[in-house]
Every structure is written in C-alpha cells, then in structure tokens.
Structure 1
C-alpha cells in the first residue's frame, strides 16, 4: 500500500524488494495493525515522512533475511518489534531507554513500513523481539504500538502492576506498592485505551473508562472497567471525581486531543499523575496547562512513548500465562486492498478494536 501524496488515495502495487542493511533484517509480514498513527502520517502530520510512502508500523512475521553483522537472529525466526527502532549506541540507549533514542527510526514513518509483504527492521540485534509460539501473528501485531505503549504507560508510569528493576517512581498515593483501592481513568477507548483498561484491570486497579461511543464503553466494561463515563453526555472531570471518591490516582489520555488531555488532567485527585499516551498533533500539539492546581495539588504530568524491546519479555510472559489477552482486542481482519478504505475512513472515527491487515 503506497501513497504519492498526503491525503491522496493509496494504491496497491508492486514495488522493489527492500534491501537488507548489514545490521538489520528483512521481515516477511504475516499481520500488521492499522493504527491511527498511520492515519496521522497519511494526513501529513508527521514531518519525517518522505513521499512516496508505504505506511505500517505494528507488525509480526518471520525473518526472511539478516544482515552480515547480525548475531542474534536467523531466517525463519518469528519476531515483532517496537514502533521505535533504536540505534543501540547513544546515551539514551546505553541507559536502557531505547524508546527515546537520539537516533531512532520508525518503520512506516522514517522509512517504508509494514503495509507490504516485506519490511526492514534496522539494528536488528537491538530491536527485534522473539515471539513465543503461543502468541498468534495477529495478536503480536497489536503489541508494537498500542498494547506495548499502554502496558508501559500503566505499569511503569502509572505504577500499577509489576515493577522493573529500576521502575519509574510509583504514584505517591500507592505507598510504593499497588493499592487495591487505586483508581485509574482512561480517556479514549480505541486500541490504546482498551489495552490500558485491560492491563490496569488485570493488575487489580479500579478503572473508569471515558469515551463518547457507547460501543467503546461496552467494550471497556468487557475488558474490566469498573465504571464508564460518556463524554458526550457528562461533565467528565466531575463524573470521574464522583466515581473515584475524589479523583483518579492515575489518568491517561489515550487518544491525543485537547478535550481528552484537559479532562484527564482535571480528573486527578491531589498528588495524582497524568500520563500522556495519545499523540497530540496539529492544533492540539500546544496545550495550555493551568499550573496553579498543578503546583497546589502536586500533580505530575508524564509523557509515555512506546516500550523498548528489552522490556517485552515481562509483558509476553503475562500474555502466555493468560493474565493479559490482547487477542480479545482484535477487530476486523482485512486485505491490503480493503485496508485502503479503512485508512481513509479513520478521518471520521477510529474503529473499535484493533484492525489487522494481512499482506
């Protein structure tokens, strides 16, 4: 699937086989997620995209070819990768923070992506993730952006669930460990939001799910939400504060919109933490923040940008054990041809669940 201009209808056609970098791998794509980030790229919101362009950044498949410098992988291995591909050498990477690599690349943005039969992963030894046999290609394709991003936002930044050896400081209300009375609000119940609902509920938190779609809120209840708020009908901050007995301990903007950002921030109790997960782009990129309440109530604002490859094993173990069920978040499966209309349709709204394309 390739487009020659932003907001022009993509086409399905043959293109040259991608060249394998010496330190990279070519992956034969078995399944790839259709994400709102792909829509942002097609709209022209991402300055890294050079036209013509092949989108797609959430994928799973088997290695078709490895470069001469790759040591840990061979053809035939089942793999996925984070949406941020790190260099492995910069100070951020050496500190273990590959998700904010100084030299990061992103398949489907900085170079051609996974809406194709073959795609390239650069710096393969740093960025590839080995898939357990128990996890399907479709479920694995949903992990690279939405599910993994939600996992790190809830667990590492929200302080809910198991901790890394050097975790983010947990919300002070938790006393350093998970409190069963913890409330987390999730604003926006698309792929990221529903993933966050599932992950937080699986780790014992009380979840308030917020959306304007009744169907999305029904899905949120299915995946463990304790309560729901319809943003088209209710005063969202007031409703969240009432349901949680004073405000959420942690609140996520899983959509990336001025309304969801402001609602999330104003839904917090004193010493609560806002985690920004959804991309704020175009007119929403610059937000006005009322710093008086931030200071007076000691609120925290944290950004969350994906999850590095070396963090995946913990999440994968929880999937294999059945604690987490990302396959339940899957929506429709489509061909690349059908995916063209599905991408364009995201100008109206995002589908409930994760749409999977099969090249």
Structure 2
C-alpha cells in the first residue's frame, strides 16, 4: 500500500510503498477514506512525541472495514467506521466504566503504532473502540470527529459542563477551536474567539462566535470588558503557554479552564499563572479525546443538523500534497480542517482482494 512516511524527526516526508498491515487479534484493518491533518501529527514529526521510526502518522480517520481479526463480535467487512484517537484495551476498569480515553494500556494510531496516513490502517480493540458511521455522515465529516471535534465536545460538555448563556473564551481558531465554537453555539453559550489569523476569525464568526479578537497582550482585559467580569469557561485550543495563560486570565472568578491543546514539556514544563488560579479559585481541567461510548450523543446532534462538522472541512488533499503540508503546520495560517484522501489521484483505483466496494 501507499503511505506517508518519515525516517527521522524533522526529516523528509515522502509517499512510498510499504507492506499492508495485518489485523491484530481483537482488531481490524480499515481502508482509509479520509484522515485529518492535525497539529498533533506535527508534534510527532518534530519529536515532541516518542514514536518508532520510520513512522506513519495520522490519528483522525474514517473508512471501511477491510479485514477482521480473531475474536471480533460487532464488526464485519464493509462496515463504515471511525474511531477515537485513543484505543482503549477493553479489559481494564477504565474501559469498563466508559472512560477508555484514559486507559493505562491505551494505544494510539499515528503515535504508538502506524497511523492513518496510508491506504490501510490496523486498529486495536475494535469491539471497544470502533464507532459506526451513520449513512448520512460523510467520511470527511466523520474523520474530523476523531480528535479535534470529539475532544472539544468532551472538553466543553463533560469536563467544563458549559451551560446555555455562559460565556466561553476559545483561544485559537484552528480545528479544535472552531469545533468548540460550533459546539458552544449548539449548546446556547456565548463565545469569544481569539486568534492572530483574520481568516480564521471570520470563519469563527460564521460558525457562531459572538465576538472575535486578534491575539494581543491585552486580549484578556477585552474579554473581561465584553463579558462584564470575564468568561465562565475558557479553553486553550492551540497548546502554548501563552494561549493557556490568555485563557486563564480571561476567566471570571471561579471560572473553568479546559486545556485541550497539547503542552509538551519542551525545555521544561510550561509556566501557568497559578497565582490567578489560586486567588480566583479557578478550575483547571484536562481533556484527552473522547471514548467511543460517548459518541452516540454527539453523532445524534450531527445527524439532526445541530452540529455540522463538515463545515470545518476546507480542503481535501492527496498524500503527495500532505507530504509538504505536514512540516508546515507549525506556521500554517489556513482556516478550517484539511483532510487527506489516501486514494486521491489513483485512477483507476488499485483493486485489493476482497476490498469493500462501497464508495464515499
């Protein structure tokens, strides 16, 4: 199969032929129809994540079950599926309680094993982790749910318990941040989006942000002014110490901050304004994806039209195009989500033995 591969951290990224994966026990192989290009993939490429080299990234995906491993009860070849980026083991107490997103034995496509920047990907713990895609939801929309949208949904709904009428500050209007804006609008919350990119702010306003602010030193003070005392909830959807501090300083007393953007300990753990956290009794909450068990409520909102993740998909690219886009993610300024179709520009499509015939 063709896959997007790099052999060293910050090294060249190329499309090459690699052996097809084999379904693990309790797992499946999925023919990838859509996979998101995410900043987390960039973190792996630069070495902020410890991945085995050479490596195939990609963790937001949707596709069709191509082969089924031993011990599978719920899935068969041809099923349309997606998966959270955390694959729980399915055996521990955390998985049994529906919290596989914090499973101690978790695996992650694109990080702990080869990911979805390929025509095929092997996935573990299928009966615990796979999620059926409704026929009305496209592969592109489903792929966007696996990391950015689902993480924002869990962060706001389950962790911060954002309520109708509350103010939310979203720092960073990339894929996660725009997902948060859409989810807040569906809940009935009032959102302020903060980002240095005017195009991203324009899209945030289209998706429901009441106010948009370009990043500046005084942005937290502006939030307090606009909200009459500060936001009830804030989220860092970027993953920088500056973005986290902006979110925290934008909160009113006893507010809740949700950290969604990755803050890798590069050069030591990042500084957080704990004096404000203590003095104002703020809650700091982490959000690490969302378990498959929690997908039905979110998918029901997607099917009803209350949530429209497909609006975030701004372009679909080939593996070849992705090879140049991945290293450039650090400074990317495009708005919305980029999705890779690993089969794009393969005409005619290369046949596979027993390949599902369903088209997207």
SS at 1:212 equivalent: coil
SS in 2 for 1:283: coil
Distance 1:76 1:286 in 2: 45
Counterpart secondary structure, 2:202? helix
- Contact 1:36 1:350 survives alignment (8 Å): no
Task: Name which of 185, 189, 193 aligns with 1:205.
Answer: 189
Other-structure match for 1:40: 43
SS of 1:302 mapped into structure 2: strand
Please state if 1:264 is matched with 2:252. Answer: no
Contact 2:152–2:180 (CA under 8 A) maintained in structure 1: yes
What RMSD, in angstroms, separates the aligned Cα atoms of the two structures?
1.2
**Aligned residue among 315, 319, 322 for 1:339:** 322
Give me the whole-angstrom Cα distance separating, in 2, the residues matched to 1:126 and 1:265. 35
Q: Structure 1 segments of 4 or more deviating over 6 A? A: none
Higher mean C-alpha deviation, range 101-110 or range 343-352: 343-352
Match of 1:354 in 2: 337
Alignment of 1:290-329 (within 5 A): 290-329=273-312
Q: Are 1:251 and 2:234 an aligned pair?
A: yes
TM-score by length of 1: 0.92
Q: Is the 8 A contact 1:258 1:284 kept in 2?
A: no
* 1:103 equivalent in structure 2: 105
Structure 2 residue 17 is the aligned partner of structure 1 residue 14: yes
1:148 aligns with 2:150: yes
**Structure 1 contact 23–70 (Cα < 8 Å) conserved:** yes
Q: Contact 1:88 / 1:98 at 8 angstroms: preserved in 2?
A: yes
Match of 1:289 in 2: 272
Contact 1:63 1:74 in 2 (8 A): yes
1:250–1:268: 8 Å Cα contact kept in structure 2? yes
- How far the C-alpha of 1:248 sits from its partner, in A, is 0.4
Structure 1 Cα separation of the partners of residues 36 and 164 of structure 2: 34
2:272 corresponds to 1:280: no
Cα pair 1:185 1:208 within 8 Å, conserved? yes
Once the two structures are TM-superposed, the CA of residue 55 in structure 1 deviates from its matched residue by 0.6
Q: Is the 8 A contact 2:83 2:129 kept in 1?
A: yes
Query: Superposed, which structure 2 residues align to 1:220-235 within 5 Å?
Result: 220-232=204-216, 235=218
Unaligned 5+ residue runs, structure 1?
161-177
In 2, Cα distance between the equivalents of 1:53 and 1:295?
42
In 2: Cα distance, 1:69 partner to 1:334 partner: 35
CA contact (8 A) 2:30 2:120 kept: yes
Q: Is the CA contact (8 Å cut-off) linking 1:252 and 1:275 kept in structure 2?
A: yes
Deviations 1:54-108 (A, max 9, x none): 1111010000011120000000000000000000112222222110100000001
Deviations 1:300-343 (A, max 9, x none): 00000000001001000000000001000001111101110111
Q: Does the CA-based 8 Å contact 2:249-2:276 persist in structure 1? A: no
1:187 is aligned to 2:171:
yes
Q: Using the alignment, how far apart are the partners of 1:86 and 1:289 within structure 2?
A: 30
Paired residue total: 339
